[in-house]
């Protein structure tokens, strides 16, 4: 069992480029697992964690409803936004500047083989991070992600989640609104859930901007604690490496 996780902060990157990079890491791990079993090898399975910020983009999960995107192609272009249908779970969501997006590409057989537990750990990482800012994040029954004032008329989602897993290897992940422009969520029915608002950490704290580097450090700390993992920080990935 390899509990070492290679961490890379990609900075601001195009969604499609990072999606393809995720797919590359994901497939390399799956292929290695298949080779291990076929050839009865004991090669160590790698784990990766990517942090990234995307230009404005809307993504629809494989079971999502395109009707939850409320604007057309011309309106998307006017807002400097793009749209992709992707292979994660969940419905539609938004990514953009001021949002920390995390993509763990883990072999869960290095940790535990339980997708439900995996999602709860991702939620707990965010809940613990928010608590450091005096914000109470909670879960909402039947709705993956992290919420504020769940179960009340003021419920609002601050962190969305959607994952894919095959042979216990994960990809996609979470998106935490830190300094996000919440106006972009007006163009969708977030996660396909009507009547629920969204939140961003800076708005909840009543400040113009929260230190995103500090938030990332907290997320990493709690991720390592929950997964009992060793985080190895790698140099940022260059554009050439992504291609």
Residues labelled as active-site residues: 191
Residue whose token pair is 């604690």: 225
Instruction: Check whether 145 is labelled as a binding-site residue.
Output: no
Any alpha helices (H) in the chain, and if so which ranges?
15-39, 73-78, 115-131, 201-205, 212-227, 239-242
Cα gap 230→228, rounded to integer Å: 7
Instruction: Check whether 89 is labelled as a binding-site residue.
Output: yes
Q: Which residues pair with 176 in a beta bridge?
A: 100, 159
Instruction: Check whether 92 is labelled as a binding-site residue.
Output: yes
Instruction: Check whether 95 is labelled as a binding-site residue.
Output: yes
Tell me the HSE value of 58 on the side-chain side, using a 13 A CA sphere.
Answer: 30
Structural tokens at position 49: 């964690």
Question: Could you tell me if 18 and 60 are in contact, meaning their C-beta atoms sit under 8 angstroms apart?
Answer: no
Instruction: Check whether 160 is labelled as a binding-site residue.
Output: yes
Instruction: Check whether 54 is labelled as a binding-site residue.
Output: no
Instruction: Check whether 173 is labelled as a binding-site residue.
Output: yes
Instruction: Check whether 183 is labelled as a binding-site residue.
Output: no
Instruction: Check whether 94 is labelled as a binding-site residue.
Output: yes
Rounded (5°) CA angle 181-189-201: 35
Instruction: Check whether 45 is labelled as a binding-site residue.
Output: no
Instruction: Provide the 3-class DSSP secondary structure of residue 124.
Output: helix
Known binding-site positions: 88-95, 160-162, 173-175
Known binding-site positions for substrate: 88-95, 160-162, 173-175
């Amino acid at each position: 069992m390899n509990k070492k996780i290679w961490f890379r902060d990609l900075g601001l990157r195009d969604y499609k480029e990072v999606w393809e990079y995720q797919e590359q890491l994901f497939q390399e791990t799956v292929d290695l697992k298949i080779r291990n079993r076929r050839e009865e090898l004991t090669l160590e399975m790698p784990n990766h964690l990517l942090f990234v910020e995307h230009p404005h983009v809307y993504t629809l999960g494989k079971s999502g409803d395109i009707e939850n995107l409320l604007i057309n192609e011309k309106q998307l272009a006017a807002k400097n936004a793009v749209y992709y249908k992707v292979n994660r779970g969940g419905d539609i969501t938004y990514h953009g500047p001021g949002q920390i997006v995390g993509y763990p590409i883990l072999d869960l057989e290095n940790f535990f083989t339980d997708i439900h537990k995996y999602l709860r750990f991702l939620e707990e990482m965010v809940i613990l991070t928010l608590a450091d800012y005096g914000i109470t994040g909670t879960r909402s029954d039947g709705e993956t992600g992290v919420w504020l004032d769940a179960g009340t008329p003021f419920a609002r989602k601050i962190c969305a989640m959607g994952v894919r897993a095959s042979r216990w290897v994960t990809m996609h992940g979470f998106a935490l609104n830190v300094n996000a422009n919440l106006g972009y969520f007006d163009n969708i029915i977030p996660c396909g859930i009507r009547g629920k608002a969204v939140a961003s950490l800076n708005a909840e704290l009543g400040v113009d901007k929260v230190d995103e580097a500090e938030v990332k450090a907290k997320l990493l700390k709690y991720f390592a604690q929950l997964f009992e993992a060793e985080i190895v920080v790698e140099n940022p990935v260059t554009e050439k490496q992504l291609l």
